[in-house]
Amino acid sequence: MTDVSGALKNPGSSFAFSEALEFEPCEIMGDVLRFEDAALSGLLFGAEETVSIDAELNVTVRAHCARCLEEVACPMRVQVKADFSRAPGEDEYPIAGHLIDAGKAAFDELLTQLPMRFLCREDCLGLCPVCGSNRNKSLCTCLEGAVRPNPFSALNVLLHDQNNKEV
Ligand SMILES: [Zn+2]
Ligand SMILES: [Zn+2]
């Protein structure tokens, strides 16, 4: 929580602020995301009964690669603009006493900025659909084998294609 008594007492002036934040892990699109080293810094602007922030959130998101399932650490930088009020309207956050929860506003903004999926690298080869090995680490020969006339090869290729479309 951030103390905004200075901003409330001095309408029209701005105050620099910065704070470390803790975000709980959360499940998104079947993956559990963890958040490390979250820090918010920027400016607070006071008005009569409201406070606005214009700040930057820096955070490392730990997720899993959508193709090979390895852990991915993704540093993110997100602009956070939010309004706080003693009588919050639809797009405003509350001011409780002289405290605001800037972390809540920052987390809400972060959620809107997360990529649809995380990849360990753009050209990640993913898991072999036959043996399940990580094809970035060891290129198995399963898919080469599937080229041989084999009643299951077409199915394997088909499943592989479907898996690729789903991620
Ligand atoms: Zn990967
Ligand atoms: Zn394989």
Could you tell me if residue 167 is inside a domain?
no
pTM metric for this prediction? 0.78
37 & 88 share domain: yes
pLDDT value for 120: 95
Could you tell me if residue 136 is inside a domain?
yes
Model confidence pLDDT, tens digit, residues 74-132 = 999 999 999 999 999 999 999 999 999 999 999 999 999 999 899 999 999 999 999 99
**How far is the centre of ligand 2, averaged over its atoms, from the C-alpha of 133 (Å)?**
6
CA–CA gap between residue 150 and residue 13 (Å, rounded): 75
Average the pLDDT over each of 55-69, 122-136, 148-162 and give the range with the smallest value: 148-162
User: Which residues place a Cβ less than 5 A from the ion ligand 1?
Assistant: 65, 67-68, 120, 124
Beta carbons of 108 and 21 less than 8 angstroms apart:
no
Amino acid identity for residue 17 in this structure: F
129 & 109 share domain: no
Helix (H, G, I), strand (E, B) or coil at 61: strand
- The parent domain of residue 46 ranges over 2-113
Beta carbons of 94 and 85 less than 8 angstroms apart:
yes
89 & 52 share domain: yes
Mean pLDDT calculated for residue range 2-16? 91
Count of domains observed in the chain: 2
CA–CA gap between residue 167 and residue 163 (Å, rounded): 7
60 & 40 share domain: yes
40 & 99 share domain: yes
